[in-house]
Amino acid sequence: MSVHNTFEGVPFIASSTEIAKENGLYLQLGTGFSEYAELVSVGRPEQGLGLPFDPSCNAINGDNAFWIAGWDGAGNLVHTQALRLIGLGGLSLSQYMRRHFLDFPPTGLDLDFAHSRYNPGPQAKRIGGVVGYHGEFWLSDEYRDTGLSCILARFALATAQLRWVPDYVIGFMPRPLAFKGLAEREGYMHCEPGCLYWRRADTGKDLEGCMVWMGKEDIRHLMTIPLNGLVKGRTPLARG
């Protein structure tokens, strides 16, 4: 990691943390995914743990993954997200995902895996090297429409930059959310629609997924953009 990257990332993370705190959200960063699985099961029962971050199915640890939790002043879990490295093994992302896309399903849906498919876009065929996967993004209802999603996702991307200096960070997002602007709010500069089609077993219809992605230079640029004005502001609860 260069000194240049460190100087950009450290104050950016500090500013993100302070803005979240000013709006009543207290951030915790961890690397133990058994602990994360437990806090999700207790504090986020309506959305189960995603398969890519299930420690019983993946060799994830402090070297290749981390999670972020946000708590309100009353100690309630109100936010989660996580990032892990994908071991491409010398493959391009498209080659890897053709073999492994079933390991990255959306949570909470009854899926027909046999009729689901992966359709890589142009960039997926070029992405390689050190690649991070960003998922588990959840924010409770009372914090939505505040702009905090802008701050929180950028916090995770900056943390990944400081830890790993990845060549790329990717994520998958349902088309309705991506088209409503969630990709841009999270800071992602690139979005490829139509990369995943998850067949729903209950309806027989496909849920289209988009791939959002950032290159190393994109993340560095993101950390130069001021955070002022991204959050609307709310009255924080006292933390006692």
Distance CA 34, CA 124 (A): 31
Domain ranges across the chain: 3-222
Residue found under tokens 């849920």: 207
Pair 58, 34: CB distance under 8 Å = no
Distance CA 57, CA 51 (A): 7
Question: According to the model, what pLDDT value does residue 233 have?
Answer: 60
Name which of 81, 67, 86, 76 is nearest 173 in CA terms: 81
Distance CA 3, CA 122 (A): 33
The separation between CA 44 and the C-alpha centre of its own chain, rounded to angstroms, equals 16
Return the beta strands (E) in the chain as ranges: 26-30, 65-71, 77-86, 117-118, 131-139, 168-174, 190-199, 206-215
The alpha carbon dihedral of 23, 31, 166, 215 has a sign of: negative
Beta strands 131-139 and 168-174, pairing class: parallel
Distance CA 86, CA 91 (A): 11
Per-residue pLDDT tens for 163-179? Answer: 999 999 999 999 999 99
How confident is the prediction along the chain (240 residues), in pLDDT tens digits per residue?
444 444 467 889 999 999 999 999 999 999 999 999 999 999 999 999 999 999 999 999 999 999 999 999 999 999 999 999 999 999 999 999 999 999 999 999 999 999 999 999 999 999 999 999 999 999 999 998 899 999 999 999 999 999 999 999 999 999 999 999 999 999 999 999 999 999 999 999 999 999 999 999 999 999 999 998 898 765 444 444
Question: According to the model, what pLDDT value does residue 205 have?
Answer: 97
DSSP-derived 3-state class of residue 39: helix
Question: According to the model, what pLDDT value does residue 228 have?
Answer: 85
The separation between CA 51 and the C-alpha centre of its own chain, rounded to angstroms, equals 13
Distance CA 30, CA 164 (A): 15
DSSP state, 186?
Answer: T
Q: What is the DSSP track for 128-162? A: -SSEEEEEEEEE-GGGTTSSHHHHHHHHHHHHHHH
Question: According to the model, what pLDDT value does residue 144 have?
Answer: 86
The separation between CA 38 and the C-alpha centre of its own chain, rounded to angstroms, equals 19
- CATH 3.40.630.30 assigned to 3-222: yes
